[in-house]
Amino acid sequence: MTDKSNAGKNGFGEAFEAIRREISSFQRPSRLKSIWQLSNTLLAYIALWVLIYFVKDYSYWLTLPLVLLAAGFLIRIFIIFHDCGHYSFFRSRRANHFWGRVTGLLTFTPFYYWRMSHARHHWTSGNLDKRGQGDVWTMTVSEYQNAPFKTKLKYRLYRNPLVMFFLGPLLILLISYRFPGRGAGIKDKVSAYGTNVALIGLAVLMSFLIGPKTYLIFQFFILYIGMVGGVWLFYVQHQFEGVYWSGDKEWDFVEASLKGASFYKLPPVLRWFTGNIGYHHVHHLSPGIPNYSLPKCHDRIPVFQRVKPIKLFSSLRSLRYRLWDEKNGHLVGFGRSPEAR
């Protein structure tokens, strides 16, 4: 919970102050629920790997549904990793660190490096003057109009769905998570390079157990499919109709949480695999709530129900958004102004 929120322009801020105590009651992790979630996720993921190993001898095509299912469980593992990064999965800081590193290894994500970057994202989400902190690169219309050709081309490539959702996961997996940027601190570098070393050890172990070819092929596709799904989830959580962006002086934490993060209302099965991350507006307002408590918090507190949900098929509209129209206060496509074409 934060004390940096100001009163929201549409009453969200006042509502938040009135229900602060009620929200805090959902921030208490349940050890039993957390252990149960770890068990039904990690054990199932391991079981799928065992099935893949035996089924491949009959037909690689028969492994396809198992790979897709394993990718779904990998997304769920990442949500546990995500909660550990917010110290919301267990009450014990040590337990969050331990399981954060374990799930980080399975998702090929350096725990401490990611955690610090993600924390910056939470404190700058929706702030036009603090873009570039773990968000989707979003230019304003005027910035794009005045940008040199090289920048425009780079931005158009970045915002192309084929690049963002199919090439992007590879760049994250092979570069971003493996080699910290220039501004990374010592702890970030130790986290990233330490994870790299641990991944080499994991690859050697798995290659010994099931063979290098089997491990590399199936691990790649499970990771890749899972990361494509993860990139899409992150995109639609902050790129949707009516999303909030504001300059630093007017930026408001509560508004940025409830209007800048979507309520992605997924079908029950997808909600389970994604660890309720569709309740992203609740999560951004109170990151200390464990994923299994997000639906109940949303249903119990009226202010969250004022957030308009985005459903699975309607979320595809988000693909057409490219630029922030600062004059009219909403996202637009490249074709909305002649200069942006």
Residue-level pLDDT at 51: 97
Q: Assess contact for 332 and 245: CB atoms under 8 A.
A: no
Residues making up the chain, counted from first to last? 341
pLDDT in tens, 289-303: 999 999 999 999 988
Between these two residues, 331 and 24, which has the higher pLDDT value?
331
Residue-level pLDDT at 12: 63
pLDDT in tens, 115-138: 999 999 999 999 999 998 789 999
Reported confidence tier of residue 8, pLDDT bands at 50, 70, 90: very low
Residue 272 has pLDDT above 90, yes or no: yes
Q: Assess contact for 191 and 113: CB atoms under 8 A.
A: yes
Q: Give kind and range of the element (H or E) at residue 184.
A: none
DSSP 118-130: HHHHHHHTTBGGG
- Of 103, 75, 14, 21, the C-alpha closest to 229 is 75
Q: Assess contact for 321 and 162: CB atoms under 8 A.
A: no
Would you give the distance in Å from CA 303 to the centre of its chain?
A: 23
User: Following CA atoms 146, 151, 152, 153 in sequence, which dihedral angle do they give, to the nearest 10 degrees?
Assistant: 160
Cα–Cα distance, 285 to 139 (Å, whole number): 25
Cα-only R_g, the chain: 21
Residue-level pLDDT at 15: 61
Cα–Cα distance, 41 to 203 (Å, whole number): 21
Residues paired with 263 in a beta bridge: 279, 309
Residue 333 has pLDDT above 90, yes or no: yes
CA angle 220, 222, 227 (to 5 degrees): 90
- Provide the percentage of residues in the chain whose pLDDT is more than 70: 93
Residue 310 has pLDDT above 80, yes or no: yes
pLDDT in tens, 18-29: 677 788 889 999
Domain boundaries, the chain: 12-340
Characterize 162-173 residue by residue with b for buried, 16 or more Cβ atoms within 10 angstroms of its Cβ, and e for exposed: eebbeebbeebb
Residue 2 has pLDDT above 60, yes or no: no
pLDDT in tens, 134-178: 899 999 999 999 999 999 999 999 999 999 999 999 999 999 999
Residue-level pLDDT at 241: 93
Cα–Cα distance, 240 to 130 (Å, whole number): 19
The amino acid at residue 4 is K
Between these two residues, 313 and 12, which has the higher pLDDT value?
313
Residue-level pLDDT at 6: 44
Residue 10 has pLDDT above 70, yes or no: no
Highest mean pLDDT among 40-44, 256-260, 332-336: 40-44
pLDDT in tens, 31-67: 999 999 999 999 999 999 999 999 999 999 999 999 9
Residue 3 has pLDDT above 50, yes or no: no
11: left (phi over 0), alpha (psi -120 to 50) or beta: left
Q: What is the pTM of this model?
A: 0.93
Indicate the average pLDDT of the chain: 92
Residue-level pLDDT at 335: 80
